[in-house]
Chains A and B, each alone.
Chain A
């Protein structure tokens, strides 16, 4: 792993004194082969986009497209 991408990934987690990291977790991408360098580079670039304001957060999770489906009705209609 190159020192550069690894440190970029770590810097964004530990550079601020007013906040403390409690936990960090990842959802691996779908490529079969992923190297640590590209993984860290993706993370560091995403952190930079957040810091720069290029992307902004939403206060809610992605929402469903459909209204709740009554499954008992679905199976009754089969």
Chain B
């Protein structure tokens, strides 16, 4: 059960947009994720401060329950545009696949994650910010790979920027334009290869 396997499966898709519920969720099921997932669109959450979050819980039915009920609450700022809703929710959803060693659940780790995650991009340091902050940031790129699959990119690539503008491509993918730009960039195949290896 890994995010690499999910991205690999999605990379074959040759259409846009990718619907999270109809297309991505079944892939989670195939990977063995059977958690209950709830989406909270919060109209008062300020997207300038917090765009979204996931809280992943276990509810043991009894002490040392080997099969606890697992529930994920994904909250997102409703004030954002629809394309951002999708990106934020997809990114948070992918954290259901986080390996144990990168999960964050202790108060001291949460403090540290927040301390690093709020830094503006020019102050981020992938070498010293730690695995938790790093995996939080990388997950946005994973979400772009899921919502704009390699198969779809490859069909559009010869026409991109000529008769097919980037805003039009972003509109077809229903993702924010900066992530459409990232996927259509020359460096994307290399980034993609690192994600699926």
User: Could you say which residues of chain A place their CB within 8 Å of the CB of B22?
Assistant: 63
Q: Is the CB of A19 within 8 A of B58?
A: yes
Tally chain B residues at the interface, Cβ within 8 Å: 78
Q: Is the CB of A24 within 8 A of B59?
A: no
Given known A23-B98, A27-B91, A69-B16, contact A75–B54 (CB-CB < 8 A) = no
* Binding stretch for chain A, among B4-12, B42-50, B179-187, B188-196: B42-50
Interface string of A36-49 (1 = CB under 8 A from B): 10111011011001
Give which listed residue, A19, A25, A71, contacts B155 with CB less than 8 A: A71
Q: By DSSP majority rule, is chain A's interface helix, strand, loop, or mixed? A: mixed
Q: Is the CB of A25 within 8 A of B53?
A: yes
Give which listed residue, A9, A23, A60, A70, contacts B104 with CB less than 8 A: A23
CA distance A38 to B120 in the complex (A): 15
Q: Is the CB of B16 within 8 A of A68?
A: yes
In the complex, whether A31 has a CB less than 8 A from a CB of chain B is yes
Given known A20-B58, A23-B54, A29-B48, contact A61–B25 (CB-CB < 8 A) = yes
CA distance A43 to B49 in the complex (A): 9
Q: Is the CB of A22 within 8 A of B70?
A: yes
In the complex, whether B110 has a CB less than 8 A from a CB of chain A is yes
Give which listed residue, B17, B89, B115, B136, contacts A61 with CB less than 8 A: B89
User: Could you say which residues of chain A place their CB within 8 Å of the CB of B111?
Assistant: 6
CA distance A31 to B75 in the complex (A): 18
Q: Is the CB of B53 within 8 A of A60?
A: no
Q: Is the CB of A61 within 8 A of B39?
A: yes
CA distance A45 to B155 in the complex (A): 44
A28 to chain B, nearest CB (A): 5
In the complex, whether A18 has a CB less than 8 A from a CB of chain B is yes
Q: Is the CB of A49 within 8 A of B49?
A: no
Q: Is the CB of B21 within 8 A of A49?
A: no
Listed A/B pairs (7) with beta-carbon separation below 8 Å: A24-B54, A24-B110, A25-B136, A42-B46, A46-B50, A62-B39, A68-B16
